[in-house]
Amino acid sequence: MIKKDIYENIQNAESMYDQLPFKFIIGNKIFSKEDLADWQYREYKKTAILLNKLFNADLDPNLSYLDLKKSVITFKMAIGQETLSRRLLGQLKLGNLATVVGTKTAFQRRKVSIADIYLNTDIDAQFFIDTFNQMMMANSEENQFYNFKANPNHFYSSGSDTSQTVIEMTGGTRIANKFTLVYGDESGLKTNPNPDFQFESAGTGKNDSGLVIGGVRHLMTSSNGVFHARLQVEFPASMPNYFINQHAIHLLVEFSHWLTDIEMKHHS
């Protein structure tokens, strides 16, 4: 994907995102698009500084939000996620060590990051969940682009028929972590299915050694022209509340962009 196409795709997605009537909630607090943009801008600055350090890149963290977003995503696409993962190896070792210690000291207890998104739309939940699953599980340049664009703290995503391996920075941490979500395996989850939602994407999270470290249970439904996603990520209970809360914002950011991409696919 060439720079011109990346810039054009980002610009088009931002224009669509601005038009969509999202409602974002964490707990009892409503978040605006401006709140999420401010969070992303701070994280894009940090990611630009990291990429400059790892690759001697020449990314300017003082660019405007949209220009910085375009620059960081274009650089990630040019480098590729395999190279990104290799350069992050030192961070991944440290992140895994922290995860193992945190998991073992939690004694199977969990904290859950929860965020809710509502969207008035003519697309039903079936289309959303089917397209979302394809974006997560199918390995393509397009889906790699969607992953990078969804969140400044995304660095790698590789799927199969039943699993997805991810490298990202969780919540407000600045240490990359690697984990694999095994979809359909709910043995490691503490959250329960919710009959108020039509569909779910659920799976146990494991590190490379197979240690269960948490998981996801994302719920989706639609009724009377309103789509509702309840996004849930389970962490070891030893995770500080600050990071649990920051990851809820992380969830709002990435899913609002994925939902925007799905809207664009539907209307293309």
d(CA 134, CA 171) in angstroms, rounded, equals: 24
Give the predicted TM-score (pTM) of the model: 0.97
Token pair of 193, please?
A: 């299915």
Q: 225, exposed or middle or buried, with CB in 10 Å at 0-12, 13-18, 19+?
A: exposed
% of the chain residues with pLDDT over 90: 98
Strands 110-120 and 22-26: antiparallel
Domain count, the chain: 1
Token pair of 71, please?
A: 């620059």
d(CA 21, CA 121) in angstroms, rounded, equals: 9
What are the φ/ψ torsions at residue 61 (nearest 5 degrees)? -70, -5
CATH number at residue 45: 3.30.530.20
Q: What is the pLDDT of residues 122-148, one digit of tens each?
A: 999 999 999 999 999 999 999 999 999
The pLDDT of residue 172: 83
What are the φ/ψ torsions at residue 27 (nearest 5 degrees)? 65, -120
Q: What is the pLDDT of residues 149-181, one digit of tens each?
A: 999 999 999 999 999 999 999 988 999 999 999
- Which residues fall within 8 angstroms of residue 96, CB to CB, at 6 or more apart? 177, 178, 207, 208
d(CA 183, CA 187) in angstroms, rounded, equals: 11
Q: What is the pLDDT of residues 233-247, one digit of tens each?
A: 999 999 999 999 999
Asked whether residue 197 carries a pLDDT value surpassing 90, the answer given is yes
d(CA 207, CA 167) in angstroms, rounded, equals: 11
Q: What is the pLDDT of residues 14-32, one digit of tens each?
A: 999 999 999 999 999 999 9
pLDDT-derived band at 254, boundaries 50, 70, 90: very high
The pLDDT of residue 268: 83
Asked whether residue 199 carries a pLDDT value surpassing 90, the answer given is yes
User: What are the DSSP E strand ranges found in 138-211?
Assistant: 154-159, 163-169, 176-183, 199-206
- Residues 221, 197 contacting (CB under 8 angstroms): yes
Q: What mean pLDDT comes out for the span 200-228?
A: 98
d(CA 52, CA 194) in angstroms, rounded, equals: 44
Buried b / exposed e over 141-156, threshold 16 CB at 10 Å, is eebbbbbbbbbbbbbb
Asked whether residue 34 carries a pLDDT value surpassing 90, the answer given is yes
Q: Which domain holds residue 59?
A: 3-267
* Mean pLDDT taken over the chain: 97
Q: Find the Cα–Cα–Cα–Cα dihedral 68, 37, 92, 82, rounded to 10°.
A: -50
